[in-house]
Structure 1
């Protein structure tokens, strides 16, 4: 299991808030760091998968237990804006 460098608790928030918050956090962590995201919105499964695909991050883990979603996302080498 990957070590978690930062946790984002987005439980109770709905699209697009969790992705916006993740975007802000991942911008500030080092390449290779892992961000854990906790969420309750089912659309986060799709949103975080696309987020990682578009921006070059690695979706290390995506799991759901009783309506609670947990993601581990490793920051990739994204191009600067």
Structure 2
């Protein structure tokens, strides 16, 4: 998937992945996509809730080898 900005939140625990995601989204324009890499298992539910609360679209979520990738489209 194409993305406009990438955030490496691997090794960070809650709430840091979400806080960094919020900051990174503020740096891109509406319609652009942010790719987030994280290793915190709690980040799966956190990203879903964050997207719902902020109105941003969680386009895709995947997991491989204990690492998660999220693609969020800024509203």
* TM-score, scaled relative to structure 2: 0.96
- What are the superposed Cα offsets for residues 10-65 of structure 1, whole Å, 9 maximum, x if unpaired? 00000000000000110121000000000000000011100100010000111111
Provide the residue aligned with 1:7 in structure 2. 6
Over aligned residue pairs, what C-alpha RMSD do you find?
Answer: 0.7
Runs of 4+ in 1 over 4 A off after TM superposition: none
Write the distance in 1 (CA, Å) between the matches of 2:38 and 2:6: 11
Write the distance in 2 (CA, Å) between the matches of 1:10 and 1:40: 7
Question: Aligned residue pairs: how many?
Answer: 75
Provide the residue aligned with 2:65 in structure 1. 66
* TM-score, scaled relative to structure 1: 0.89
**Any unmatched runs of 5+ in structure 2?**
none
* Bigger Cα Rg: 1
Write the distance in 2 (CA, Å) between the matches of 1:32 and 1:43: 26
Q: Does 2:46 match 1:16? A: no
Write the distance in 2 (CA, Å) between the matches of 1:35 and 1:69: 14
**Any unmatched runs of 5+ in structure 1?**
77-81
Write the distance in 1 (CA, Å) between the matches of 2:64 and 2:24: 24
